[in-house]
């Protein structure tokens, strides 16, 4: 083998470890970057899972509140209907009360008329009999 060929191989032998070391440094740096990126991805995934749990919890609470609102709305409508029925009943009772007052006034007037017409003071004969009865006693 000629010496020039050996020099070529020696030079290759010298540059091969240097090239390999530099490549491994690049690979190591690249691995560190990938490890850092993987850790960031894991952190982001955990954050997303926590946020997903939080959103699920909020949706559950919202669903419960929505059901409560539905129940309260139903209760409100029922209460309004009851109030309207009670107002109607009160009006009917007022009308009955007015009618009863009118009937009572009419009865009172009849009683007064009956008392006046049947009273001994109203008839002159009754007056003379009542005064004679008082004198004899």
Residue spans per domain, the chain:
3-117
Q: Are the C-beta atoms of 104 and 98 separated by less than 8 Å?
A: no
Q: What is the pLDDT of residues 34-63, one digit of tens each?
A: 899 999 999 999 999 999 999 999 999 999
Q: Within its chain, how far is the Cα of 93 from the centroid?
A: 36
Q: What is the pTM of this model?
A: 0.46
Closest CA to 25 of 90, 33, 84: 33
Q: What is the pLDDT of residues 60-77, one digit of tens each?
A: 999 999 999 999 999 999
């Amino acid at each position: 083998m000629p010496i020039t060929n050996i020099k070529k191989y020696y030079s290759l032998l010298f540059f091969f470890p240097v090239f390999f070391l530099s490549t491994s440094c690049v690979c190591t740096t690249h691995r560190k970057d990938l490890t850092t990126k993987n850790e960031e991805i894991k952190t982001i995934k955990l954050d997303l899972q926590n946020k997903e749990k939080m959103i699920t919890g909020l949706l559950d609470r919202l669903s419960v509140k929505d059901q409560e609102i539905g129940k309260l709305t139903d209760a409100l409508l029922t209460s309004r209907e009851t109030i309207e029925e009670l107002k109607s009943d009160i009006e009917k009772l007022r009308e009955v009360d007015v009618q009863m007052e009118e009937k009572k006034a009419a009865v009172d007037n009849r009683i007064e008329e009956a008392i006046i017409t049947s009273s001994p003071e109203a008839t002159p004969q009754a007056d003379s009999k009542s005064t004679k009865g008082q004198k004899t006693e």
